[in-house]
């Protein structure tokens, strides 16, 4: 097989998997940012019940990997925040491993502008070890649009990703949208569906068979304004997607601001 | 079940028939005229608010009426939606009180109405739109349709050198998610008399003068704390009614629709700010400059460290004796109903929302004790139309931890009382103005979402 053909096959087969940072943080973003002088601490726990079973090109298989991601997000002002991620992975035979770190600044359209939908823009940049992703440095631009109407909530994240260092560095921007629709059954319990896709390079979407297509059934438990709880089970619909994942996000917001009744 | 729309139709029809008897009065010229029309307020040099006002201004003109002297006020509605004017704090018949739910006819777009009534009781009242705004944060109390109304007593001692009328208002509202999990109004601009701090004419005072401030909170939903830097405020009246124990205070707190009359001894020459105590509200514009004659320089503000206010400081010092005729207790339980994180909450009184709310008919001459049991997480400024009530007890926690913070007080006569979240307050009134009587939370968003009850007389 010609060398370029082999590389193309490698790209087509693995690039969605390689780009899928989502298995460390599986979340559709809302437009709201963390308030100033607040720190949001989130633990993302994702267990791949059924995933890739083979070590391919030195990348560990995802099957039965437990990904624990610590996300720390500090509010800067009423319209911006800065997030930091520590990705880890635990797996039989490999133990607990550090995977990588990302940094994520985000800005939003202030609510007081009165836009009919919530809008924010996230930029995520970071490193992950080649044992877990051939593309070690990646950059993501994620527009976020959301809207709550009565008991319904809608969010769309048409994200664009590119590799800064790794096999896909020449691929350019790839399209990895996600979306969510949920319904408030009560003030505390919401339930809905989250969708995560990765279509490959914008200039040349990969065949459906090799796209990443995941759908999660999720519930959000709004037990308190300072707690965030999101639990879901997801299935992958294509060969390039992990087939069955369980996810949980547990978040707690800490307010370090000095609040006076006369502020 | 009767729908809300049907209730409005029925009440409107009743009022129209009642108003036919007043046709003869329509021939006489009106004492005052109010035109309801769009207005653009220049709240600051580069900040305008487009709203609806009275006579091309917001707040509307000061109406000085004489207690007991019949007056006719002609109101023309130049907008494209029905309107009605409520004469807040007066003992008026339902047909002219200005609440559609009681039977006051709406003023259709492009038409006029005449309100003929005999003003009482004396004191500082106000007038305002009383239509539902629902999701439109430009209508009703969200608009500039409000104005001061002074009912002069037959004998006014006039123990002051100057008097000023101040309206606190929040503008340019939008719905935002709040920590209670529902949508609530927030505001971009706050003003006193339609001007942001530093944008309007200062209050010019003379050293040694005794100034009387008549302050009304016209805000659709927000309570406000105001202070005059460098001065104390001697509270003389609440909701236009003299208090038994006038007190000097550092600041006033006014829930929506509340009024405070306070005297100030101008004994600290300088240029001062009278403004909202909370920084973010003053930054949004709620303040004005008070300028002593002959003084120059930048206005000065002295930031209080906390918020302070209570009703009981103005009440009679000793417990009053029980009324000869025991009051009939009327428990009213206030709760909210979740309708989604993307919606405002619905409100219930005794488990039902208006127009399904109900209470036993009042008997004329009977004394009633309203038990305001606020099980919600919001504070509520509660208003009873066409009557005044006396505060008797408030601050009783509903968590079962104890008795009322203040119990068995007397002498404070009001028509609006702020009942804190998760507490119980009690007021008494005598049912002495027969006719449909509306009771509601004065937060526009709450009354829009069902927080109303119509008392009827037997």
Closest C-alpha to A151, from A117, A173, A181: A181
Strand B252-254, strand A137-149: pairing: unpaired
Which pLDDT band, with edges at 50, 70 and 90, does B7 fall under?
A: very low
Tell me which chain A residues have a C-beta less than 8 angstroms from the C-beta of B188. Answer: 112
Taking CB atoms and an 8 Å limit, are B338 and A261 in contact across chains? no
Contact B174 A187 (CB under 8 A): no
* Residue B136, min C-alpha distance to chain A (Å): 13
CA pair distance B235, B247, nearest whole angstrom: 5
Lowest mean pLDDT among A13-17, B347-351, B437-441: A13-17
- Would the CB atoms of A150 and B342 count as touching at under 8 Å? yes
User: How far off is chain B from A231, nearest CA to CA, in Å?
Assistant: 19
B210 Cβ contact list (under 8 Å, min separation 6): B159, B160, B161, B162, B263, B264, B265, B266
Mean pLDDT of the A164-176 span: 94
CB of A184 less than 8 A from some CB of B: yes
Please indicate whether, in this complex, the C-beta atoms of B306 and A112 are within 8 angstroms of each other: no
Mutate to test the interface with B, among A226, A262, A263 (most CBs of B within 10 A): A262
Question: How many Cα atoms occupy the beta-carbon half-sphere of B156 within 13 Å?
Answer: 13
Read off the pLDDT of residues A94-128 as tens digits, 9 standing for 90 and up: 899 999 999 999 999 998 898 999 999 999 999 99
Q: Which residues pair with A245 in a beta bridge?
A: A48, A234
Minimal Cα–Cα distance from B305 to chain A, Å?
7
Task: List the single residue in A with minimal CA-CA distance to B340.
Answer: A151
Mean pLDDT of chain A, nearest integer? 90
CB contact under 8 Å between A184 and B303, yes or no, is no
Query: What's the mean per-residue pLDDT of chain B?
Result: 92
pLDDT at res. B321: 61
CB contact under 8 A, B181 and A261: no
Q: What is the pLDDT of residue B14?
A: 39
Least confident of B30-39, B295-304, B402-411: B402-411
Rg (CA), chain B: 21
- Give A30 to chain B, closest Cα distance, Å: 13
For residue B365, report the phi and psi dihedrals to the nearest 5 degrees: 90, -15
| Pick among B182, B276, B340 to test the A interface (most A CBs inside 10 A) | B340
Q: Which residues of A are less than 8 Å from B179 in CB distance?
A: 225
Q: Which two tokens stand for residue B310?
A: 């209570």
Contact B174 A153 (CB under 8 A): no
The minimum CA-CA distance between A144 and chain B, rounded to whole Å, is 17
Give the C-alpha distances (Å, rounded to integers) separating B45 from B197, B199, B395: 11, 7, 43
The pLDDT confidence band at residue B285, using thresholds 50, 70 and 90, is very high
DSSP B86-150: EEET----HHHHS-TTTTPPPB-TT-EEEEEE---S-EEEEEEE----TT-TTSGGGTB-EEEEE
Q: What is the pTM of this model?
A: 0.89
Please indicate if any CB of chain A lies within 8 Å of the CB of B293.
no
Peptide bond into B355 cis (omega under 30): yes
A187 touches chain B (CB under 8 A): yes
Of all residues in chain A, the one with the smallest CA distance to B282 is: A263
Q: Predicted confidence band at B179 (pLDDT cuts at 50, 70, 90)?
A: confident
- Smallest CA–CA separation between A25 and chain B, in Å? 24
Residue B283: how many CB atoms within 10 A of its CB?
Answer: 14
């Amino acid at each position: 097989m010609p060398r370029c053909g082999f590389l193309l096959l490698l790209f087509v087969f693995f690039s969605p998997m390689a780009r899928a940072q989502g298995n460390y943080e599986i979340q559709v973003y809302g437009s709201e940012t963390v308030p100033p002088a607040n720190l949001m601490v989130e633990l993302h726990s994702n267990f791949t019940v059924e995933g890739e079973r083979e070590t391919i090109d030195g990348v560990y298989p995802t099957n039965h990997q437990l990904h624990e991601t610590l996300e720390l997000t500090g509010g800067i002002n009423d319209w911006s925040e800065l997030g930091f991620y520590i990705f880890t992975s635990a797996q039989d035979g490999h133990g607990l491993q550090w995977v990588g770190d990302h940094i994520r600044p985000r800005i939003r359209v202030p609510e007081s502008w009165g836009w009919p939908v919530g809008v924010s823009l996230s930029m995520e940049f970071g490193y992950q070890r080649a044992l877990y992703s051939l593309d070690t440095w990646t950059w993501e631009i994620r527009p976020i649009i959301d809207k709550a109407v009565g008991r319904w909530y809608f969010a769309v994240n048409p994200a664009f990703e590119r590799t800064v260092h790794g096999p896909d560095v020449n691929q350019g921007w790839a399209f990895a949208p996600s979306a969510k629709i949920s319904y408030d059954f009560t003030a505390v319990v919401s339930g809905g569906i989250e969708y995560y896709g990765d279509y490959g390079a914008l200039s040349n979407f990969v065949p459906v068979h090799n796209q990443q297509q995941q759908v999660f059934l999720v519930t959000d438990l709004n037990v308190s304004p300072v707690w965030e709880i999101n639990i879901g089970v997801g299935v992958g619909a294509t060969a390039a997607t992990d087939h069955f994942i369980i996810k949980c996000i547990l978040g707690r917001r800490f307010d370090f601001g000095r609040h006076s009744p006369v502020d | 079940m009767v729908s809300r729309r049907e209730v409005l139709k029925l009440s409107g029809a009743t009022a129209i028939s009642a108003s036919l008897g007043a046709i003869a009065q329509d021939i006489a010229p009106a004492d005052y005229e109010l035109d309801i029309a769009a207005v653009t307020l220049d709240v600051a040099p580069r900040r305008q608010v487009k709203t609806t006002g009275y006579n091309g201004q917001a707040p509307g003109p000061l109406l000085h009426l004489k207690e007991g002297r019949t007056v006719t006020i002609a109101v023309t509605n130049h907008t494209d939606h029905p309107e009605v004017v409520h004469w807040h704090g007066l003992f008026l018949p339902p047909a002219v009180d200005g609440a559609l739910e009681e039977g006051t006819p709406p003023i259709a777009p492009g038409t006029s109405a005449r309100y003929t009534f005999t003003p009482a009781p004396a004191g500082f009242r106000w007038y305002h739109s009383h239509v539902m705004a629902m999701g439109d944060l430009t209508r009703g109390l969200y608009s500039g349709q409000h104005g001061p109304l002074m009912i002069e007593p037959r004998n006014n001692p006039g123990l002051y050198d100057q008097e000023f009328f101040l309206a606190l208002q929040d503008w340019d509202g939008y719905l935002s998610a709040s920590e209670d999990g529902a949508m609530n109004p927030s505001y971009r601009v706050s003003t006193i008399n339609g001007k942001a701090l530093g944008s309007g004419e200062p209050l010019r005072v003379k050293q040694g003068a005794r100034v009387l401030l008549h302050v009304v909170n016209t805000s659709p939903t927000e309570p406000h704390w105001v202070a005059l830097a460098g001065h104390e405020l001697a509270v003389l009246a609440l909701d236009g009614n003299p208090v038994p124990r006038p007190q000097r205070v550092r600041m006033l707190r006014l829930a929506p629709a509340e009024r405070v009359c306070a005297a100030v001894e101008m004994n600290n020459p300088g240029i001062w700010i009278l403004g909202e105590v909370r920084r973010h509200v003053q930054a949004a514009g709620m303040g004005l400059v008070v300028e002593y004659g002959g003084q120059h320089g930048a206005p000065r503000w002295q930031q209080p460290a906390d918020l302070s206010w209570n009703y009981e400081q103005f009440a009679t010092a000793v417990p009053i004796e029980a009324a000869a005729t025991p009051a009939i207790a009327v428990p009213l339980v206030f709760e909210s109903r979740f309708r989604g994180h993307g919606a405002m909450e619905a409100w219930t009184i005794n488990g039902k929302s208006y127009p399904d709310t109900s209470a036993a008919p009042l008997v004329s001459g009977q004394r009633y004790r309203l038990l305001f049991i606020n099980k919600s997480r919001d504070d509520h400024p509660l208003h009873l139309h066409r009557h005044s009530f006396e505060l008797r007890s408030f601050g009783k926690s509903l968590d079962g931890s104890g008795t009322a913070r203040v119990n068995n007080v007397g002498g404070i006569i009001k028509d609006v009382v702020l009942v804190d979240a998760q507490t119980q307050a009690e007021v008494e009134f005598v049912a002495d103005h027969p006719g449909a009587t509306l009771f509601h939370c004065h937060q526009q968003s709450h009354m829009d979402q069902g927080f109303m009850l119509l008392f009827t007389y037997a």
